[in-house]
Amino acid sequence: MVKTVVVTGASGGIGSEIARVFAENGWNVAMMYNNSETEALELEKEIENKGVKTFCKKCDVASIQEVKEFFAEAEKKLGLISALVNNAGVALQKLFTDVTEEEAEKIYDINVRGVFNCTKAVLPGMIREKYGKIVNISSMWGICGASCEVHYSSSKAAVIGYTKALAKEVGPSSVNVNCVCPGVIDTKMNRNLDEDAMNMLKDEIPLMKIGTPRDVAETVYFLCSDKSSYITGQIISVDGGMVI
């Protein structure tokens, strides 16, 4: 039976690569995006050309109603959902004292509430089937914190705590819940940095190189595959050894 994965934030650098890896391994892929419609629709066509079924729709993960509608449509079109990758997220680099209430609310709504909403939509089916894989994308800053990224760091730390707790709760139902914490990855988010800044970052990474979206995507896929059936509640860093 062909399995189906839901990837939130699928139009971004990491999200799109996650979708590609699942498609390359024969999975049907439901892709959720919020802002980048052009990129999302292009990705949908690309993945369809790999011979799998797709479903792509705009959805605000902070809206429980939109999320419920998305999952209902995805399941109707692609079948039972076997895996969920909570990848959607927003970042903010700003002094703590300068962050507005609206900016803080947006970060927690997407990075934390969004994870809760999507999990709540998919979990009943996984518990009923006694099978499911949930992978949450956090950040190395969720582990150690980052100056001028207090709200982002704390929201990603919440995802780590959520992963550990939920894994214990749904383990008896044979649902695996894990978390991946990317480090410095070559995405649009980091391409505003000049060469000197990137070289300084490389000097801080034991492997002396910047990570790629594929590095993260392959790890996520492993955690959703049957090869990781005895792994749950784990926080796996994909950061070249930057945070140990």
Which residues belong to the active site? 152
Residue 65 CA to residue 117 CA, distance in Å, equals: 9
Give the Cα separation of 200 and 105 in Å (integer): 32
